Amino acid sequence: MTTELKYCCGLVNSNKKYLSVGFANSVNADGTSLKAKQRWNLEQGDDTVFLKFGNNYLTTDKMGNVTCSEEKTDDAKFRVETQTDGRWAFKSVPYDKYLGCSDTVNTNATKAEEKQLWTVHMDIHPQVNIKSNIRDRYAHLEDDELHFNEVIPWGADAIVTLEFHGGRYALRVCNGKYASTSGSLVDSPTDDSLFILEFHGGKAAFKHGSGKYMAAIGPKATLQCAKAARAKPGKDEVFVLEDSHPQGILIASTGKVASTRQGVDVSAKHALDTEDIAEGTFNDKETWQLEYTEGKWAVRTAEDKYWELKATGGIQADASSKSNNGCKFELSHHENKVALKGSNGKFVRPKESGHLYANSDSSEPADKDLFIFQMVNRPQLVLKGVQGFVGHGSRSKVECSKPRYDVYKVTCKDGYYSFQAENGKYWVVEDDQSVSLGSTPDKFIFEYISMSRLAIRGGRNFNYLKGEQNGDFKCAGTEIEAKTTWEV
């Protein structure tokens, strides 16, 4: 299943400085950008929040002094008061005073004025699935609206990108349009499509400046503003933000695509439709979700079933749970292709009939055992690493420590990916293995590590893309590690 996000953020004061952790757990507001010492986790209670840095909590006392402490006490509890411009005020629960910054960070103010207001810069991967908490259904693009009616968030149309606009957020869908208060999608972010992001008991709410919350409304569960303003969101106005698994098609060595078009048997009998390839749309019966579990992978269908290895060696998509050993496969990468090994220790390959069987006795996968896995639910990609976001800003050099991300269009041919920036230029690997923007795309390879994390290989030796603290983004990695792992 999908995984609920952990909310990490930076807090920016009226002087455009970030709340930071200093020497000996002191707290200041000297940060000029969102780096490691400016990242705070929002740990939530029922109607309060704790600001956590590492294993320590931001704590105040009756004198207004602020520090970080390992103790999680009432002195670390704050209530959030959101403002119409999207900023937050943090009010100490035991002392009824506001977190702010004059000469020092303190909680001395009895009113939330300019120095006590913080812009919340969320430090999460912005591409998410959104689930209505009360309907238990996911949003996806349908009839030029966002409807909460999918049991499983399936395909690119279920990915929503959270765009940060000066303290407020816009919800961008896969066609490039934005959710608005009326329920219709609009071409660009305006006041009617910008919302204050709130959190209530671990759930997210999107509040318009009018005081009304977005909700899933009507028989189609359309995302739009509720009729009346509220002090707090109702049950149908809170949502769960989740990471998503990679979804894609599997193309066998025969050039045929794996599917369940003819029942529960998984077979590779049909060639891909050329129009589908051009448009990037694929039949649900030939699209699979890879779910990382206990060091192996399960393969899920749009009908909420899983691949299972049967006693005969055949693969059928009829398991209701992935807990069975026969539902777990080893996934190995072989340049632009992958191999799947069943619980019987044999590789999966198509028989002459097209049916998939785990019956290859090779110690290493043969050509017949190799598939192209083409990811289809990230046609627009944002990359986030341990140093920050990947982007190029106004420059041609691509870097990995940006506080703001750039969106790249991703296309795949024969298992090789290319990246295109919004200015029309492509990623190219230079002689020093750095990445810049150019007119002719270079080829890259994806390797899947876990749920929403992958490694990317490129350059003349197909080394791993590695990010450094200074922003260097080069095909210089020789192994999968933190610096070569990218959240998508």
Nearest 10 degrees: Cα torsion 360, 364, 367, 369: 40
Q: How far is CA 355 from CA 39, 248, 258, 270, 310, in A?
A: 50, 19, 9, 11, 13
Is 407 a member of any domain?
yes
Residue 18, pLDDT score: 95
Is 1 a member of any domain?
no
Residue 201, pLDDT score: 81
Is 163 a member of any domain?
yes
φ/ψ (deg, to 5) at 75: -65, -10
Residue 202, pLDDT score: 81
Nearest 10 degrees: Cα torsion 105, 384, 54, 166: 20
Residue 477, pLDDT score: 97
Q: What is the DSSP code (8-state) at residue 4?
A: B
Q: Domain boundary residue among 342, 358, 375? A: 375
| 367 and 251 together in one domain | yes
State the CB neighbour count (10 A cutoff) for residue 236: 18
| 277 and 213 together in one domain | no
* 433 token code pair: 């293995």
Residue 271, pLDDT score: 87
| 285 and 236 together in one domain | no
Number of structural domains found in the chain: 4
Is 478 a member of any domain?
yes
Close Cβ partners of 219 (under 8 Å, ≥ 6 residues apart):
none
Q: Domain boundary residue among 102, 122, 142? A: 122
Is 284 a member of any domain?
yes
Is residue 418 within 8 A of residue 426, CB to CB? The reply is yes
Residue 105, pLDDT score: 97
* 183 token code pair: 């329920």
CA 336 to CA 460: how far, in whole Å? Answer: 14
Residue 346, pLDDT score: 97
Residue 1, pLDDT score: 47
| 396 and 470 together in one domain | yes
Q: Which amino acid is at 220?
A: K
Q: What is the CATH number of the domain that holds 324?
A: 2.80.10.50
Is residue 89 within 8 A of residue 112, CB to CB? The reply is yes
Close Cβ partners of 409 (under 8 Å, ≥ 6 residues apart):
379, 380, 381, 419, 420, 421, 422
Q: Domain boundary residue among 227, 242, 257? A: 242
Is 2 a member of any domain?
no
| 103 and 26 together in one domain | yes
| 91 and 177 together in one domain | no
DSSP E strand stretches across 329-472? 330-334, 337-341, 347-350, 356-360, 370-375, 380-381, 384-385, 388-391, 399-402, 408-413, 416-420, 426-429, 435-438, 444-450, 453-458, 463-467
Q: Which residue ranges of the chain lie beneath pLDDT 50?
A: 1-2
What's the Rg (C-alpha) of the chain? 24
| 60 and 116 together in one domain | yes
| 31 and 63 together in one domain | yes
| 172 and 236 together in one domain | yes
Is 395 a member of any domain?
yes
> Which residue segment(s) compose the domain that 477 sits in?
380-487
Measuring CA to CA, which residue among 226, 236, 241, 84 is closest to residue 158? 241
| 262 and 360 together in one domain | yes
Provide the greatest CA pair distance for the chain. Answer: 78
Is 224 a member of any domain?
yes
Q: What is the DSSP code (8-state) at residue 279?
A: H
CA 127 to CA 384: how far, in whole Å? Answer: 11
* 251 token code pair: 């193309």
Strand 426-429 and strand 49-53: the pairing is: unpaired
| 411 and 333 together in one domain | no
Q: How far is CA 377 from the centre of its chain?
A: 11
Q: Which amino acid is at 252?
A: A
Measuring CA to CA, which residue among 123, 109, 125 is closest to residue 33? 123
| 103 and 212 together in one domain | no
Residue in the block written with tokens 């970030």:
18
CA 33 to CA 20: how far, in whole Å? Answer: 10
